[in-house]
């Protein structure tokens, strides 16, 4: 573990994934944790995350809920289990006691208060299932047939030139596109 990285995270009041794993959190392979994700450090051993999971920026996974503390002198706690091949959109919150199945997409800014079954797309606050993953992917494949599609040269991974940025911005005016 890089001591400097650990120190920087602690200075910001955050924990590295490696530190949380050393404290008992379980994480599968190909885990993507983007900027600002909070994985409940006070009860991280209650978190289990499968393979090929991406947590978009500012996702919060909470295993405790202190809403009862003032009134009952107890805090609610519960396991959070996330299956394989799951994408959780930006600024979503997963609450204690929730299980998310395999092959699931959680839309941005959702609050997951109850279990989400395998092969689902769920959105909203509270999150509710709106379709199967297959239905969602099929809809996007159809949409992609008439949408602008860009290769990796149109990303920061390939240092996109300003000319490409302006072209992409113009082509996407009022519509959705796709990038590799």
Q: What is the mean pLDDT of the chain?
A: 94
> Considering the chain, what percentage of its residues have pLDDT values greater than 90?
88
Confidence of residue 157 (pLDDT cuts 50, 70, 90): confident
SS3 40: coil
Residues 50 and 102: their CA atoms lie apart, in Å, by: 8
> For residues 90 and 57, is the Cβ–Cβ distance under 8 A?
yes
> For residues 64 and 98, is the Cβ–Cβ distance under 8 A?
no
Burial class (CB in 10 A: 0-12, 13-18, 19+), 177: middle
In order, the DSSP letters of 94-129 are: E-TT-EE-SSEEE-TT-EE-S-B-SSEEEEETTEEE
Q: What is the mean pLDDT of residues 10-23?
A: 84
Confidence of residue 14 (pLDDT cuts 50, 70, 90): confident
As annotated, the active-site residues are 64
> For residues 62 and 75, is the Cβ–Cβ distance under 8 A?
no
């Amino acid at each position: 573990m890089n001591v400097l990285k650990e120190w920087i995270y602690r200075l910001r009041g955050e924990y590295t994934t490696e530190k949380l794993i050393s404290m008992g959190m379980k994480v599968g392979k190909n885990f993507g944790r983007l900027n600002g994700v909070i994985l409940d450090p006070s009860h991280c051993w209650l978190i289990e995350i499968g393979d090929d999971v991406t947590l978009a920026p500012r996702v919060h996974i909470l295993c405790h809920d202190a809403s009862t503390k003032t009134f009952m002198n107890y805090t609610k706690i519960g396991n959070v289990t996330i299956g394989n091949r799951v994408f959780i959109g930006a600024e979503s919150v997963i609450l204690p006691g929730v299980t998310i199945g395999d092959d699931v997409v959680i839309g941005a800014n959702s609050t997951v208060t109850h279990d989400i079954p395998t092969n689902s797309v769920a959105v909203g606050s509270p999150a509710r299932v709106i379709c199967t993953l297959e239905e969602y992917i099929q809809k996007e494949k159809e949409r992609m047939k008439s949408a602008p599609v860009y290769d990796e040269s149109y990303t920061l991974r390939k240092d996109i030139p300003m000319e490409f940025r302006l072209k992409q911005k113009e082509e996407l005016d009022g519509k959705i596109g796709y990038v590799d």
